[in-house]
Structure 1
Amino acid sequence: MKKTTLTAAMLLTAGWMVGAQAGVDPLTQIEAPSSEWIYNGTEPDYIVDVPSFTVPATGVIDYIDSVIPLEFGEEKWVKAVQFIPGDKRVLHHLLSYVVADTEKSEGMIDEAVNDPRREFLEGYAPGKEYATEFPAGTGIKVPEGSALRMSIHYTSFGQESVDNTRVGLWFYDEGQEPDLEYHTYSVSPGNRTENIIIPPGAMEHEMAATHVFDKDIVLHGFRAHMHYRGKSMAARVIYPDNTQEKIINIPDYNFAWQPTYRMDEPMVIPAGSRVVVEGLFDNSEYNPGNPDPTVPALGGLQSWEEMFIGYFSYTDLP
Structure 2
Amino acid sequence: MKNTFVVVALLILFAFILDPSLTHISAAGDVKKNVTFSKDVAPIFFQHCVDCHRPNDLAPMSLLSYKDARPWAKSIRERVVSRQMPPWPADPHYGKFANDTSLSQSDVDTITAWVDQGAKEGNPKDLPAAPNLIDGWKIGKPDVVLTMQEEYTLAPEGSDEYINFSIPTSFKQDTWVQAAEIHPGNKKVVHHVIAFIQTPQMVAMAKTAGRKYLSPTAGSIFYQDGTLIRTRLEAPVYDDGCNAPGGGIARGSGQEGLGFPLCFYTPGKDTDIWPEGIAKLIPAGANIVIQVHYSKTTGKPEKDRSSVGLILAKSAPEKAMTSFGVINHYFKIPPGADNHEVIGCYTFSRDVELFTYLPHMHVRGKDMKYEVVYPDGRRETLLYVSKYNFNWQTMYRLEKPLLIPKGTKMIVTAHYDNSEKNKYNPDPTKAVRFGDPTYDEMMVGYFDYVSAIPNRTLVKLDSAALDAFAGEYGIGPVVAVTISREGDHLLFAAQGNLKVEAFPESPTKFYFKIFDGMVNFTKDEKGEVTGLVFQVNGQTIRATKVKKIASASDKR
Residue 292 of structure 1: how far off its partner (Å): 1.7
The one-letter code sitting in structure 2 at the alignment partner of 1:37 is W
C-alpha contact (below 8 Å) 1:219/1:312 kept by paired residues: yes
C-alpha contact (below 8 Å) 2:368/2:386 kept by paired residues: yes
Equivalent in the alignment of 2:347: 212
Equivalent in the alignment of 1:75: 174
Equivalent in the alignment of 2:133: 33
SS at match of 2:410: strand
Equivalent in the alignment of 2:327: 188
Separation of aligned partners in 2, 1:30 and 1:14? 19
Equivalent in the alignment of 2:196: 97
Pair member with larger Rg: 2
Structure 2 residue runs without a partner (length 5+) = 1-94, 207-212, 217-228, 231-248, 455-556
The one-letter code sitting in structure 2 at the alignment partner of 1:46 is V
Answering whether residue 337 of structure 2 is matched by residue 202 of structure 1, we say: yes
Equivalent in the alignment of 2:214: 107
Equivalent in the alignment of 1:260: 395
Q: 1:135 to 1:89 in 2, by over 3 A?
A: same
Equivalent in the alignment of 1:154: 294
Separation of aligned partners in 1, 2:215 and 2:303? 22
Residue 284 of structure 1: how far off its partner (Å): 1.6
Q: 1:220 to 1:113 in 2, by over 3 A?
A: farther
C-alpha contact (below 8 Å) 2:364/2:425 kept by paired residues: yes
The one-letter code sitting in structure 1 at the alignment partner of 2:317 is P
**Deviation string, structure 1 residues 206-261 (Cα, Å, up to 9, x no partner):** 11010111111111111100000000000111111111111111111110111221
Equivalent in the alignment of 2:310: 169
C-alpha contact (below 8 Å) 2:182/2:263 kept by paired residues: no
Separation of aligned partners in 2, 1:150 and 1:83? 9
**Deviation string, structure 1 residues 264-312 (Cα, Å, up to 9, x no partner):** 1211111111100001101122222111223222221100110001112
Q: Which has the higher contact order (CA 8 A, sep 6+)?
A: 1
Question: For this pair of structures, how many residues does the alignment match?
Answer: 308
Separation of aligned partners in 1, 2:257 and 2:163? 21
- Which has more helix, going by share of residues? 2
The 5 A counterparts of 1:5-16 are: 5-6=101-102, 14-15=110-111
Residue 263 of structure 1: how far off its partner (Å): 1.0
Equivalent in the alignment of 1:271: 406
C-alpha contact (below 8 Å) 2:176/2:313 kept by paired residues: yes
250-259 vs 97-106, which deviates more?
97-106
228-237 vs 50-59, which deviates more?
50-59
Residue 131 of structure 1: how far off its partner (Å): 3.1
Separation of aligned partners in 1, 2:386 and 2:161? 31
Residue 13 of structure 1: how far off its partner (Å): 6.6
The 5 A counterparts of 1:39-54 are: 39=139, 42-50=140-148, 51-54=150-153
Structure 1 residue runs without a partner (length 5+) = none
What is the TM-score normalised by the length of structure 2? 0.51
43-52 vs 218-227, which deviates more?
43-52
**Deviation string, structure 1 residues 35-61 (Cα, Å, up to 9, x no partner):** 21112xx31101110242101111125
Answering whether residue 204 of structure 2 is matched by residue 64 of structure 1, we say: no
Equivalent in the alignment of 2:264: 123
The one-letter code sitting in structure 2 at the alignment partner of 1:183 is T
Separation of aligned partners in 1, 2:144 and 2:397? 25
Separation of aligned partners in 1, 2:106 and 2:423? 23
Equivalent in the alignment of 2:435: 300
The one-letter code sitting in structure 2 at the alignment partner of 1:87 is N
- Which has more strand, going by share of residues? 1
Percent identical pairs in the alignment equals: 31
RMSD: 2.9
Residue 101 of structure 1: how far off its partner (Å): 2.9
Residue 116 of structure 1: how far off its partner (Å): 9.1
Q: 1:266 to 1:62 in 2, by over 3 A?
A: same
Q: 1:259 to 1:108 in 2, by over 3 A?
A: farther
Residue 113 of structure 1: how far off its partner (Å): 6.4
C-alpha contact (below 8 Å) 1:69/1:101 kept by paired residues: no
17-26 vs 307-316, which deviates more?
17-26
The one-letter code sitting in structure 1 at the alignment partner of 2:214 is G
C-alpha contact (below 8 Å) 1:284/1:293 kept by paired residues: yes
C-alpha contact (below 8 Å) 1:100/1:145 kept by paired residues: yes
SS at match of 1:63: strand
Equivalent in the alignment of 1:2: 96
C-alpha contact (below 8 Å) 2:180/2:271 kept by paired residues: yes
Residue 202 of structure 1: how far off its partner (Å): 1.6
C-alpha contact (below 8 Å) 2:214/2:257 kept by paired residues: no
Residue 119 of structure 1: how far off its partner (Å): 2.2
The one-letter code sitting in structure 1 at the alignment partner of 2:302 is S
C-alpha contact (below 8 Å) 2:369/2:384 kept by paired residues: yes
Separation of aligned partners in 2, 1:171 and 1:17? 47
The one-letter code sitting in structure 1 at the alignment partner of 2:377 is N
The one-letter code sitting in structure 2 at the alignment partner of 1:167 is V
Q: 1:239 to 1:32 in 2, by over 3 A?
A: same
Separation of aligned partners in 2, 1:227 and 1:203? 15
Residue 24 of structure 1: how far off its partner (Å): 5.5
